[in-house]
Amino acid sequence: MVEKYTSVIDKRVLGLFIILTLSSIILFIYSGSYIVLSTPFACYFLLQIWNNWKTAYMLLLLCIPFSIQISLINHSLSISLPDEPMMWLFLLLFILLLSAKQKAIPKWWWRNPIVVIVLLQFIWLVVAVFFSKVPFFSAKFLIAKTWYLVCFFVFPIWIFTEKKHFNNALFLMLVPIICTMILILFRHSLLSFKFRSIQDAIGQLYYNHVEYSSLMSMFFPLLCVAYPLIKKERKMMRRALLILIIFFGIAIFLSYARAAILGIIFALIVAGAIKRKLVNYIMPVFYSSIILLLIYFIGFNKYHDLKPTYEHTNIKNSPLWSAYTGGLPP
């Protein structure tokens, strides 16, 4: 009897969702408003976060690569749509969950050294914001940092409890990332893959080529790790993943972000060192090199030689300059 009643409710919800979607499409054609077009999705997400917030979290992961940044109030504020409003709801949900059950976060999580370091950094951030000379922007940064930590540092301990959850999350984020990569590479090919045209190819899909390359470089090691884990009998899947690894490598190189390229090279070196049990030799050499480099630059004030030449920067066209100066010339 209960299952029959639930089935009737599901059919009614599905019917209402279809009617709402068709109505939104019609209104979008008439008005051209993307807010109207996104209404069915927003309603569905709200329903899921009320009914099954774990499914809603997976929808959040799916939307991250498709989200775009929109500037507000003369570039003094910005919002990423649709992922940031979804994070706001998860921050509210976190407060409700913690209020209902104060011990919702397990004890082992609090004892983790990484958690302790992140919490200390967050406390120091609160102290810095409290003494900030620009409280509006500092408070905005603190609030944004809070919902990011809640969504991607706290909620995963409740979401990822089984191996399949990790696989589903990887797939849900990987598919939209590949879609954006294909679109960007297609645009970039029309511009002859020139360095100065990469930002034009990216458009509004990502903030800049650094953010675009960073996202790809974070997923590249995951693909490399997944390849040997696939059984040799599944030849088609192994070949598809190998093609995907090569595709990511080409896209990262054509993003022209040196940090991402060096990060991939360093990750491959560390992976090889781990496999051959050479980490105890390579990591001390690496950190010693970093320390010697810092001593060289700080001790002899060589970092002054690396200061930017503001006469050659394009600061006049920067929207941030206009936001802070009210359009006054530099």
Range of 37's domain?
2-159
Residue 165 located in a structural domain: no
Residue 15 located in a structural domain: yes
Residue 171 located in a structural domain: no
Q: Note whether 111 and 76 are same-domain residues.
A: yes
| Integer Rg of the chain from CA | 24
Q: Note whether 259 and 291 are same-domain residues.
A: no
Peptide bond into 65 cis (omega under 30): no
Residue 222 located in a structural domain: yes
Residue 251 located in a structural domain: yes
Q: Note whether 137 and 15 are same-domain residues.
A: yes
> So what's the pLDDT on residue 234?
77
Contacts of 76 (CB under 8 A, 6+ apart): 137, 323
- The model carries a pTM of 0.71
Sequential DSSP letters for 283-309: HHHHHHHHHHHHHHHHHTTGGGGG---
Q: Note whether 136 and 8 are same-domain residues.
A: yes
Q: Note whether 18 and 150 are same-domain residues.
A: yes
For residue 167 the two structure tokens come to 């696989």
Q: Note whether 212 and 305 are same-domain residues.
A: no
Q: Note whether 238 and 155 are same-domain residues.
A: no
Residue 325 confidence (pLDDT) above 50:
no
pLDDT in tens, 38-92: 777 777 777 777 877 888 888 888 888 877 777 766 666 677 777 888 888 888 8
For residue 121, how many other CB atoms are within 10 A of its CB? 11
Residue 174 located in a structural domain: no
Query: Residue 1: helix, strand or coil by DSSP?
Result: coil
Query: Residue 104: helix, strand or coil by DSSP?
Result: coil
Q: Note whether 105 and 251 are same-domain residues.
A: no
Query: Residue 200: helix, strand or coil by DSSP?
Result: helix
Burial tier of 188 (Cβ tally within 10 Å: 0-12, 13-18, 19+): buried
Q: Note whether 253 and 301 are same-domain residues.
A: no
Contact 198, 254 (CB under 8 A): yes
Q: Note whether 264 and 304 are same-domain residues.
A: no
How far apart are alpha carbons 146 and 142 in whole angstroms?
6
pLDDT in tens, 286-319: 788 888 888 887 776 766 666 666 555 554 444 4
For residue 198 the two structure tokens come to 């990469």
- Average pLDDT on 102-120 reads 86
Nearest alpha-carbon partner for 78 in 94, 92, 66, 67:
67
> So what's the pLDDT on residue 93?
87
> So what's the pLDDT on residue 8?
43
pLDDT in tens, 210-241: 888 888 888 888 888 888 877 776 788 888 88
Q: What is the average pLDDT value for the chain, to the nearest integer?
A: 78
Band (120; pLDDT cuts 50, 70, 90): very high
Number of domains composing the chain: 3
Q: Note whether 6 and 155 are same-domain residues.
A: yes
Residue 11 located in a structural domain: yes
Contact 67, 80 (CB under 8 A): yes
pLDDT in tens, 152-181: 998 888 888 888 888 888 888 888 888 888
Residue 7 confidence (pLDDT) above 50:
no
Residue 25 confidence (pLDDT) above 70:
no
Contact 260, 190 (CB under 8 A): no
How far apart are alpha carbons 216 and 252 in whole angstroms?
7
Q: Note whether 88 and 215 are same-domain residues.
A: no
Residue 247 located in a structural domain: yes
Query: Residue 72: helix, strand or coil by DSSP?
Result: strand
